[in-house]
Structure 1
Amino acid sequence: MTPQAILVGIAAGLAGGLLFAGVVLDSSTAVGLALAAPIPVAIASLGWGTAAGFIAAFTAAGLLYAATGAGFNALSLLLTMMLPTAVAGHLAGLARPVGDAAPGQTPPLDWYPLPRVFHALVGMSVLACVVLGWLVAYDPASVAADLAAALTASGATAEGLTPEQVSQFARLIADLVPMVQPAMLVVTLVVGLYLGALAARISGRLPRPRDDIPAAGRLPRVAVTLFALGLVAALLPEPVGLVGGVVVGAYFAAFSLVGLAALHRRTRGRAGRGLLLFAAYAAIVLLLFPILAFTVFGIIETGRANRPPVAPPGT
């Protein structure tokens, strides 16, 4: 670990902590900035090594604690964004030599597979959300009651909604939180890691060769089984049902990203590709429900891409 890596890690941690601090301080632009918090940590980890990434992660949490005095907020930042990004950066930087090299030359390297890095991000998102839910003793019924009271106080009943409708809406929101939160976290971490890698590559600091993300952007086949188990668990009573909801939300987002990557790969070289991609993303943003189709597509692609090849007859 060089002094430069230490300084870069501290600087990246300060940047990530400041980006996230707006959420705690109730800034109007806080959400957009907070979503960018993993990017400096990803740059440090991918461009300057594992030590720089972990220094950045803990520096960001320390800065948030020093600025707010709220230990839970600092822990939330560390568990949800900083540590997963640092770990993913470490995994993406792993490589082993393959074969022999000529004298004075570096042997070819086999880099840690991108699907495993992706799956690690999904797993860490699940773990972070479960731990935080356990720490706050998340109770959908209590959250729904508080939300219904807040909606009633804000005048929701004056808009023509009955108290029963307000309560049903509040309960729906409380039930969706365990699924929506990990889904958003997975997307945030994946995008942050991608942008961090892009910045490190532009600066000439990324040793890993450029990955073909549309081709390699998938999950190990075991992800389909874990998603199915999460669906079953989500139907069970709490707290198992809450954990199952977290698993479902995280893998739902992950398979959606796999489906979108497959769309990019399958439309390469085809006429009207730009219009098709624009229409797909616009439909997701405006209508939301088309994301279900990409989730199913991602599940199918995951199972298909990881099947072992069939041996020719007679071998």
Structure 2
Amino acid sequence: MMQDSEPKSMNPRALLIGLLAGLASALLFAGLVTQASSAVGLAFVAPVPILIASLGWGSTAGFVAALSAFGAVAGALGSVYAGLSILLSVGLPAAILGHIAGLAQPIEAPTGWKDKGPALLWFPLSRILFATCLLAALGCLAMGWLIGYDPSDLAPAVAQALSSEAASSVPPEQLAELARFVVNVIPYAQPAFLVLTLVVCLFVSAAIVRASGRLPRPKDDIPASAGLPRMALFAFAFALALCFTGGSAALVGAVFTGALGCAFTLVGLAVMHRRSRGRAARGLLLFTAYAAIVLLSIPLLAFLALGLFETAKSPAQAADTNQPR
């Protein structure tokens, strides 16, 4: 059974760290809630303080930070809904990810393990990535329910916003068509972007905590370890099928398709990093690939396909195991 590799009781210092981390996350997230254009970008790193608290001072500190962020936003803006927006999209996902990233179970030390301390099997990256998908998708669904998301109501508002920005020569029919396209893309794009945000924030937070010497988990070889469990393929296929049913089921399918699609794309990018190791033109290859993604976006489909292929051809247990460290 997986257990916290370094149980930390809720001492006053850890409690204080959790409270301060929650306040810091709330301040970073405030720009998105108040729709201040100059501070919206800060909301993308709002999970970092909560993840740092959880990874460095224990899971309880992470959950205290999430609740502290909820209380700070709800109290400052006088709205429970505003507080729930940070709790559902940032607070709980970050606290849960920080918790599972610190899970490990002791195993029998392999031959030649002398003087390396206890042999631990850490919660594998593949399942951390899969959990990130689920948390992002559920968070987006909860947010959609909270705000009463309805594509039929949102499309006219988007068309009106576009008409105020577009030149008067643009026909209303084209604006309405563009608005429908934007509304249809949102259920796919929002969870995908949230998955990417959580993955990047987890990586940055782990690097910060490791530099401070408080991270018990050894550094992972991400290109070699990144993957998804085989069950993610079936979940992706089922979610994709739901997209063609219509109604609320199609929206649910779109959200999970977007989240899982982003994760498979990340796996495909990890494969490129792993297979290009040791090659003379590696730098040029990576630069060209990422430049093409930024400029065209279409190459993301190729990496999505590569991630699906890599997951399908891997042994069933390969993506779910990790080496003792």
TM interval, shorter chain, is: over 0.9
Alpha-carbon separation, structure 2, partners of 1:170 and 1:157: 15
Give unpaired runs (5+ residues) of structure 2.
Answer: 1-9, 319-325
Matched, 1:290 2:296: no
Partner of 1:9: 18
Question: Which residue is equivalent to 2:61?
Answer: 52
Larger relative contact order, structure 1 or 2 (CA cutoff 8 Å, min sep 6):
2
1:18 alignment partner, one of 5, 27, 36: 27
Q: After the TM superposition, which residues 1-315 of structure 1 pair with which residues of structure 2 at under 5 Å, given as runs?
A: 1-99=10-108, 106-152=117-163, 154=164, 156=166, 158=168, 160-307=169-316
Instruction: Give me the whole-angstrom Cα distance separating, in 2, the residues matched to 1:105 and 1:180.
Output: 44
Q: Is the 8 A contact 2:81 2:146 kept in 1?
A: no
Q: Residues of 1 paired with 2:78 and 2:67: CA distance?
A: 15
Identify if the C-alpha distance between structure 1 residues 308 and 190 changes in structure 2 by more than 3 Å, giving closer, same or farther. Answer: closer
1:107 shift after superposition:
2.3
Q: SS state of the match for residue 146, structure 1?
A: helix
2:236 aligned partner, one-letter code: F
Q: Is the 8 A contact 1:14 1:60 kept in 2?
A: yes
Label 1:98 to 1:155 Cα distance change in 2 as closer, same or farther (>3 A). closer
Give CA deviations for 1:170-205 in whole Å, capped at 9, x if unaligned.
Answer: 011111111111011000011111111010000101
Residue aligned with 1:199, SS:
helix
Secondary structure of the corresponding residue to residue 236 of structure 1? coil
* 1:138–1:300 distance in 2 versus 1, CA, 3 Å: same
- State the shift of 1:31 in Å: 2.4
Q: How many residues align?
A: 307
- 1:19, distance to aligned residue in structure 2 (A): 0.5
| CA distance in structure 1 between the partners assigned to 2:103 and 2:283 by the alignment | 34
* Structure 1 residues 66-96: Cα deviation after superposition (integer angstroms, max 9, x where no partner): 2212221211111111111111111111111
CA RMSD of aligned residues (A): 1.9
2:244 is aligned with what amino acid?
Answer: L
Displacement of 1:100 in angstroms is 6.1
| TM-score, scaled to structure 2 | 0.90
Letter in 1 for 2:283: G
Percent identical pairs in the alignment equals 50
Alpha-carbon distance between aligned partners in 1 of 2:68 and 2:109, rounded to the nearest angstrom: 40
Relative distance call for 1:308 and 1:200 in structure 2 (3 A) is: closer
